[in-house]
């Protein structure tokens, strides 16, 4: 048979993407044109494809210079039929014409070529239900025609004409090319002229580029179709034998289906899986919603029937074509789980593997019945990093890459298992059911960002003259906790303000004044891919007493780093469980345990103990002196706000004063607060205090947060007064995008809700004789003359001072952010979000005229693009080696459980502009920032935070109010949380769904 001429009509363009249809790409970078030409090459090897182009044709030519093109001069005014007629000049050959925005399987084209008829039209009889969630808009624009015996069908844009019909088209070319005529009209005319028009019904097995959901269905089909399609091509994994049956088949003759299953799988254990098209949509995932029944005896007819019926019932009201899938059950499982071939939320190029290598179940991940689950994250371009995580995963990634290659699609959700003989099984392949349109991903650029971050890490491994230690590691939650305070993906303004106010100099200056080593000018926080990390070596050095001999300090620095490297879960507890920063009564026994089998001698411990005693004794008497500048800050605030300075100048002055008078005092107060809480905990360990008595003491201390609660309860205090006093607070102290309390007073100052129970003042708490004797014994061991009552006052004042100084300095910072928003909007033409891409250096330069305001929008756009791209990088909470930039296992943090209470309640996540009622709920927030104090004006049942330490603000507040809380649960556990009913049991140290 004569090979047909092939015309691909690609002169138009994709209106949403503003690019030629032919360059509309799959997620693996392959274009529609790549798919089409590949399909034709498989169906008709060696046949030339004539591509009819128009819009932006240079891009198509540049991407595919080896193909044959025909240009339509008047493409803007031409429809598909007119484009075809304008380029065709051979009317003597069989001709195949296809729209440029459609795709078909090669086997469809092969079958079409072999069909008889003067014209063969490819149609779709199930066009209205071709894919889940097809919109009415898309259905309305479908090209339809009536063909016997199908009735109304959709024309797929693919047709084959015989030479006889082509001659007829040549004779009627002028009338066919009329502006109102299209291919449907031409096909009807051919049929009316007496030609034999045959129909080839593809029954949904095609796609056009109107909706991404359509494309996904085309690529993958439902579960059973996908597995059946890819099974013969797999070399890296295996798909078990399968039988599928439709709802209609089951309804007509269930006994026949069961006999067929028993004949094929005689004597085997089976699994009945859901395989419904609604599982596989682009925009929503119903994975796990529909039932699968495991480990069924093939010979047990009753159980088999019940299992199949149960799966069909889980669909609700399924259509006749709904299917179930029956396969052998894998029983000797060594590992099972799910691998995502991109980041679920952003689409970034990572393999993310959630797996269970303990339970032996094939469905522990997908069923939600969690045991000891693990999560590995590997950058696609550096998969060698997987070897140090778990070498067994190499086989899995190879299998995933093979599936991507077969499907031509790299955003997959793959359910797998590996048995004890190391055989890889694929249970299911689904599209990632999340839109990633908001994220522009350049995999090559992301690789360069990671390479640059790795080089920065490598550079800082060198020894520094002012810092001891052979090497360093970096943590997002150590010391000043940048992940908690500014977030793990902060905007440039937050980063620059935190740097200027705290991590550039203030952090180290405070410690040097306190009696620790002076590590200046070392910065505390570094940025890897615009994500903040603490230099743990610098941090540890800054917590070593300055009076120690250099050789002892060096040994301590290296040992502390080794302890942290060996115990990653302690990276947010360095000051509690890694470094000894003060002397407590249990120091000696703690030191012997911590330094066991380490390079620290008994003499070293003796020297350290004496140094810590002197430092601790000094800490008990220096608080007022260290925090005295905070009064100046309050006075200066009034002066600045009463001045006639422009908004940007006021903002600069407020921030400069904040550093000069505020953050150093706060750093001292925070250190004192840490000392106080650490001492209280040591008294519990020593037996001086009980846990209950410590909580009673903390609750009795009058604080800013308590003042806020009392002011809310006092209805004689107007909302205007509340705003004046507390309106500057915001959840996220450094984040310009977080609304301050004054911006939403109806919510933050809501007086209609039940209040938390308030506690007595400090004067009402009297320590027992036993407790006071324990305090005296502690003081006797120190080189100090202070009395027990003075010590008790110190404990109370230290807890108060931390909150008070934070409250005062955050007023300057919050009002400065308000002024920058105003300046950005009125002068620079920036939105609030765009203001977040300024830096403090910009503000200084604008103030003194070094920077032209006209350049700011360009700077903002460049920084925004840079930040968005870099924030796609996935990095671990603790970076210990170069490989960690390209692959790591997500660590499970040890949460800090506050109180010994237990509660069962619904979980709720705090969102921007929260309006949902919180009463009686366990509330989830990202950080333990004081800006979330408004939560305590609602009757919450419990609190969970992603970040935060045992001594964080929220930990103290929950202890005061008797609210069960899990503070600092870490990324892994936080990411696994979802709405539902949960038990938070602080006594047993657990939280889980019920």
Structure tokens at 241: 């034998």
Token pair 């084959």 is at which residue? 160
Task: Pick the catalytic residue from 64, 310, 953, 987.
Answer: 953
Structure tokens at 555: 């040994």
Total residue length of the chain: 994
Residue 417 backbone phi and psi in degrees, to 5: -150, 150
Q: Is residue 863 within 8 Å of 852, Cβ to Cβ? A: no
* Enclosing H/E stretch for 760: none
DSSP codes of every residue in 683-728: HHHHTSS-HHHHHHHHHHS--HHHHHHHHHH-TTS-HHHHHHHHTT
Calculate the CA dihedral of residues 96, 97, 98, 100 and round it to 10 degrees.
130
- Going across the sheet that includes 990-993, the strands are 896-898, 965-967, 942-945, 922-925, 902-909, 981-985, 990-993
Structure tokens at 638: 């009034």
Cα gap 70→64, rounded to integer Å: 13
Sign for the CA dihedral angle at 22, 24, 26, 28 comes to positive
Candidates 986, 912, 901, 559; CA nearest to 736 is 912
Q: Is 326 helix (H, G, I), strand (E, B) or coil?
A: strand
640: Cα separation from own chain's centroid: 41
CB neighbours (10 Å) of residue 540? 31
Structure tokens at 652: 């600069």
Residues contacting residue 201 through CB under 8 Å, at least 6 positions apart = 123, 124, 125, 150, 153
Residue 519 backbone phi and psi in degrees, to 5: -100, 5
Candidates 981, 844, 840, 964; CA nearest to 493 is 840
Per-residue CA distances from 819 to 68, 598, 649 (Å): 60, 53, 9
Q: Is residue 706 within 8 Å of 718, Cβ to Cβ? A: no
DSSP codes of every residue in 542-574: TTSBTTS-HHHHHHHHHHHHHHHHH-GGGTT-I
Q: Is residue 533 within 8 Å of 870, Cβ to Cβ? A: no
Residues contacting residue 638 through CB under 8 Å, at least 6 positions apart = none
Cα gap 458→676, rounded to integer Å: 38
702: Cα separation from own chain's centroid: 38
Whether 953 is catalytic is yes
240: Cα separation from own chain's centroid: 33
Structure tokens at 606: 């003796």
Burial class (CB within 10 angstroms; exposed 0-12, middle 13-18, buried 19+) of 945: buried
Q: Is 878 helix (H, G, I), strand (E, B) or coil?
A: strand
Task: Indicate the DSSP class of residue 66.
Answer: T
**Which residues are identified as catalytic?**
953
């Amino acid at each position: 048979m004569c090979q047909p001429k092939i015309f691909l009509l690609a002169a138009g363009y994709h209106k949403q993407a503003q690019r030629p249809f032919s360059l509309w790409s799959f997620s693996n970078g392959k274009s529609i044109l790549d798919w089409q030409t590949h399909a034709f090459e498989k169906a008709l090897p060696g046949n030339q494809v004539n591509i009819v182009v128009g819009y932006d044709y240079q891009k198509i030519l540049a991407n595919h210079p080896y193909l044959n093109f025909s240009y339509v001069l008047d493409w803007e005014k031409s429809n598909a039929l007119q484009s075809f007629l304008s380029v065709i000049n051979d009317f003597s050959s069989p001709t195949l014409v296809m729209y440029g925005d459609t795709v078909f399987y090669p086997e469809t084209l092969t079958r079409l070529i072999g069909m008889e008829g003067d014209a063969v039209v490819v149609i779709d009889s199930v066009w209205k239900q071709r894919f889940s969630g097809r919109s009415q808009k898309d259905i309305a624009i479908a090209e339809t025609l009536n063909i016997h015996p199908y009735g109304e069908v959709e024309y797929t844009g693919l047709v084959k004409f015989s030479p006889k019909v082509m001659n007829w088209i040549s004779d009627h070319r002028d009338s066919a090319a009329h502006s109102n005529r299209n291919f449907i009209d031409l096909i009807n005319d051919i049929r009316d002229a007496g030609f034999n028009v045959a129909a080839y019904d593809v029954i949904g097995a095609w796609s056009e580029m109107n909706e991404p959901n359509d494309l996904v269905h085309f690529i993958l089909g439902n579960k059973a179709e996908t597995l059946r399609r890819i099974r013969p091509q797999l070399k890296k994994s295996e798909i078990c034998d399968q039988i599928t049956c439709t709802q209609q088949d089951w309804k007509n003759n269930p006994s026949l289906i069961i006999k067929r299953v028993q004949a094929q799988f005689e004597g085997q254990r089976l699994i009945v899986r859901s395989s419904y098209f609604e599982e596989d949509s682009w925009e929503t995932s119903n994975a796990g919603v529909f039932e699968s029944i495991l480990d069924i005896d093939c010979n047990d007819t009753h159980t088999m029937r019940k299992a199949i019926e149960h799966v069909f019932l889980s669909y609700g009201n399924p259509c006749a074509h709904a299917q179930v899938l029956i396969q052998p059950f894998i029983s000797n499982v060594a590992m099972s789980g799910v691998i995502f071939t991109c980041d679920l939320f952003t689409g970034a190029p990572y393999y993310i593997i959630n797996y269970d290598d303990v339970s032996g179940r094939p469905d522990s991940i997908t069923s939600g019945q969690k045991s000891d689950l693990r999560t590995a994250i590997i950058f696609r371009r550096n998969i060698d990093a997987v070897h140090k995580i778990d070498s067994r995963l190499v086989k899995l990634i190879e299998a995933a890459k093979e599936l991507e290659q077969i499907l031509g699609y790299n955003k997959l959700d793959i359910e797998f298992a590996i048995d004890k003989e190391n055989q890889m099984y694929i249970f299911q392949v689904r599209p990632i059911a999340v839109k990633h349109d908001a994220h522009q991903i350049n995999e090559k650029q992301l690789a360069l960002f990671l390479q640059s971050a790795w080089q920065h890490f490598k550079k800082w491994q060198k020894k520094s003259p002012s810092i001891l230690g052979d090497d360093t590691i970096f943590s997002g939650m150590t010391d000043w906790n940048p992940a908690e305070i500014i977030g793990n993906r902060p905007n440039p303004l937050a980063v620059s303000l935190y740097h200027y106010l705290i991590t550039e100099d203030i952090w180290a200056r405070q410690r040097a004044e306190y009696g620790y080593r002076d590590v200046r000018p070392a910065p505390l926080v570094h940025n890897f891919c615009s994500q903040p990390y603490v230099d743990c070596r610098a941090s540890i050095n800054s917590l070593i007493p300055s009076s120690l001999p250099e050789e002892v300090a060096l040994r301590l620095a290296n040992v502390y780093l080794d302890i942290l490297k060996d115990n990653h879960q302690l990276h947010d507890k360095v000051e509690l469980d890694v470094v000894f920063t003060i002397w407590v009564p249990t120091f000696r026994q703690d030191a012997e345990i911590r330094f066991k089998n380490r390079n620290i001698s008994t003499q070293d411990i003796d020297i350290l103990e004496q140094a810590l005693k002197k430092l601790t004794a000094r800490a008990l008497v220096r608080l007022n002196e260290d925090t005295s500048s905070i009064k100046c800050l309050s006075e200066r605030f009034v002066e600045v706000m009463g001045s006639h300075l422009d908004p940007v100048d006021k903002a600069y002055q407020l921030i400069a004063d904040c550093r000069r008078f505020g953050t150093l005092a706060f750093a001292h107060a925070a250190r004192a607060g840490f000392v106080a809480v650490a001492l209280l905990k040591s008294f519990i360990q020593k037996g001086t205090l009980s846990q209950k008595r410590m909580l009673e003491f903390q609750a009795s201390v009058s604080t800013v947060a308590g003042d806020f609660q009392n002011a809310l309860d006092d209805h004689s205090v107007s909302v205007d007064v509340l705003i004046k006093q507390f309106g500057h607070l915001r959840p996220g102290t450094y984040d310009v995008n977080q609304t301050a309390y004054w911006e939403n007073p109806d919510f933050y100052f809501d007086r209609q809700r039940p209040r938390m129970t308030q506690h007595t003042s400090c004067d009402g708490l009297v320590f027992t004789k036993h407790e006071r004797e324990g305090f005296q014994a502690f003081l006797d061991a120190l080189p100090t003359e202070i009395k027990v009552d003075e010590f008790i006052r110190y404990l109370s004042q230290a807890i108060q001072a931390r909150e008070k100084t934070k409250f005062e300095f955050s007023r300057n910072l919050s009002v400065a952010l308000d002024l920058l928003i105003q300046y950005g909007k009125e002068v620079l033409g920036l939105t609030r979000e765009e203001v977040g891409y300024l830096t403090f250096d910009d503000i200084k330069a604008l103030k003194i005229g070094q920077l032209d305001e006209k350049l700011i929008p360009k700077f903002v756009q460049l920084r925004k693009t840079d930040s968005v791209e870099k924030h796609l990088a996935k990095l671990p909470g603790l970076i210990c080696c170069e490989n960690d930039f390209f692959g790591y296992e997500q660590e499970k943090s040890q949460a800090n459980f506050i109180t010994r209470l237990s509660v069962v309640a619904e979980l709720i996540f705090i969102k921007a502009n929260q309006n949902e009622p919180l009463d009686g709920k366990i509330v989830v927030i990202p950080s333990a920032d004081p800006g979330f104090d408004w939560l305590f004006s609602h009757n919450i049942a419990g609190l969970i935070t992603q970040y935060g330490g045992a001594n964080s603000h929220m930990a103290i507040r929950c202890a005061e109010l008797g609210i069960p809380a899990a503070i600092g649960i870490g990324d892994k556990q936080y990411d696994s949380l979802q709405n539902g009913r949960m038990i938070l049991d602080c006594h047993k140290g657990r939280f889980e769904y019920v």
